[in-house]
Chain A
Amino acid sequence: MNEHVLRDPKPILAGIETEYGLLVEGHGAEDQIDDAITFVRSYPGPCFVGWDYHYESPRADLRGFVLERLTVDPEDVKYETGRQRGTDHEIRSDRILPNGARFYNDHGHPEYSTPECWSLQHLAAHDAAGERVLLQTAEAFQRETGLTARVYKNNTDFHGASYGTHENYLVRRDVGFEALYKAVTPMLVARQILVGSGKVGAESGKACTYQLSQRADFFTEPFNAETLYRRPVFNTRDEPHARPQDWIRLHVIAGDANMIASATARKIGLVKLAIELVQRGEPPLWRLADPVEAFKAVSRDETYRFPVQLQGRSWTTAAEILESYFAAAEQTLDLDHDLKWTIDTSRALLLDLSSNFEEFKKHVDWAAKRSILETYMDDEGIDWQDPGLTAFDLEYHNIDPEEGLHAALEQMGAVEANPNIEALESLLTSQSEPNRASARGLSVSKYGENLSSACWKSLTFELDGGPIEIELLPDATYPAELADAVDVGSFIECLRGAK
């Protein structure tokens, strides 16, 4: 590979992976992997098949070692006993879309991984566009199998199984684990109050009526590289999808799937603030007594004061942690539009949380969901003990615009509007930013017949002279001429010239 001078990207390149819940009529969890394979393969839009797993390293740990194996949920092991599966390619059934996104089966969940984006607005729109991919696939699946599939953009089945919405951030390798962990963990604990999706009840520990986070019940350790079981608040998986000597991909697994697109943008912007502070400024120093307990305590605090226990028996609040990041960013960073937007809208929401909940619930999923549950309980004369409330929680996340409860709120103007359907669908077949996602997207849409495989990090073309692998640089700007290349040869030359 050619020599490359490392650039410091600004804004931070980021992406979102959403594992969707899949409910096929008449089928159960034992059928889910087979269902997800058939489902993903039903995707009716243009796509390329040929994902390259060569650079994947899910057992590598940022602390400098490789796990022997990843822990799996013992309940899922029971489902798989005696079953024979095919190759990784057959099971995962990856599709690469013209926008550079990946759509595949991840442990029985159809997963849409957005193209990488610099802009918060673009990333949140691509995350919402993923819902259109799932809807189009559900319709095609029904045509092909005769079975109805419901799809949920959430993170729990209310029976103890969780599935993730992961965020990925490009971070300089020289930041290292310790500094990144200290800078990001307090933010992950505190940001729930603005970007949690809300959940009825609890799936571990003490009972509660309603909590802010869909994921809090599933964290058992402050940090580790696991994702399927024994999940941590801070994930240490070291799989950079870029040159490992230069880059870390911070893999955040603590967040919820958001239905409100601006909450998605804020969720990403808040972590970017923490990363920018550790890369360029000085992050606030908070010594949490126990990040796992702090995460759960904030999620479950129905006084909405959100105290956070610190080392040495002192304490603070989630709001004060957030404000400390805003103040530090304003004092030590040259803020771009996205970071200013994140700080300004977050501060406004913190104020609304204490004084104007009517406005707050238009922008925050947990509050919007709680409000409709309270309304229904008032109308029907039921309380939090009613077992049917979890059904409403689930249906808030139903992505069908004709059925979903979030969609109803959006249609009524009761929550902030997402980008419209036409805008979202146009994102599936075009490239938004001149980063490596656009190079991947153009490759699969224009030169798919010359491409043998592709992944986040590289493209491999099969030409008369043999295979040619081209590295996709995460900090490069790909030139506009890429789209105008007249043949695969000039396209490859243009890719090689990206800086």
Chain B
Amino acid sequence: MTDGDRLTRPLNEPGKKTEEGGPGRPDVRKPGGDNELMRRMRKVDPDQAKRYRQRSGQ
């Protein structure tokens, strides 16, 4: 991917250069402590998605 030339702007327009390398990997932190979210997550049946089968839609 990175062996060619890097273009920071389109072929027809001047653009603004962002920081070299683009956004880094974010630091994903906890939303904090035991709460309604964690209560719900512990109630989720881990096999729920296994049973979830759908027709293809559009």
Binding site for B on A (CB under 8 A): 19, 21-23, 28-29, 32-33, 72-73, 75-76, 79, 106-109, 152, 157-159, 161-164, 166, 227-229, 253, 282, 284-287, 297, 302-307, 309-310, 312-317, 319-321, 323-324, 327-328, 331, 350, 353-354, 357-358, 360-361, 367, 370-372, 374-376, 378-379, 387-388, 390-395, 403-405, 408-409, 411-412, 414
- Smallest CB separation, A233 vs chain B (Å): 15
CB pair A159 B46 closer than 8 Å: no
In Å, the complex CA distance between A164 and B56 comes to 9
**Chain B residues near A387 (CB, 8 Å)?**
46, 50
Q: Beyond A350-B23, A408-B40, is A375–B30 a contact (Cβ under 8 Å)?
A: yes
New A-B pairs, 17, CB < 8 Å, besides A312-B5, A405-B37: A29-B55, A107-B55, A107-B58, A108-B57, A163-B56, A164-B58, A305-B21, A310-B7, A319-B18, A320-B18, A331-B13, A357-B26, A357-B29, A371-B28, A375-B37, A390-B49, A408-B36
CB under 8 Å from chain A, chain B span 43-57: 44-57
- Smallest CB separation, A17 vs chain B (Å): 8
**Chain A residues near B14 (CB, 8 Å)?**
327
Mask: chain B, 1-16; 1 = CB below 8 Å from A; 0 = not = 1111111111111111
- Smallest CB separation, B13 vs chain A (Å): 5
Q: Beyond A166-B58, A350-B23, A371-B29, is A324–B53 a contact (Cβ under 8 Å)?
A: no
In Å, the complex CA distance between A392 and B50 comes to 12
In Å, the complex CA distance between A367 and B31 comes to 12
In Å, the complex CA distance between A424 and B54 comes to 28
CB pair A319 B53 closer than 8 Å: no
CB pair A107 B56 closer than 8 Å: yes
CB pair A285 B11 closer than 8 Å: yes
In Å, the complex CA distance between A313 and B53 comes to 41
- Smallest CB separation, A145 vs chain B (Å): 19
**Chain B residues near A414 (CB, 8 Å)?**
31, 37
- Smallest CB separation, B54 vs chain A (Å): 4
In Å, the complex CA distance between A371 and B2 comes to 29
CB pair A324 B13 closer than 8 Å: yes
In Å, the complex CA distance between A116 and B31 comes to 36
**Chain B residues near A378 (CB, 8 Å)?**
30
CB pair A391 B4 closer than 8 Å: no
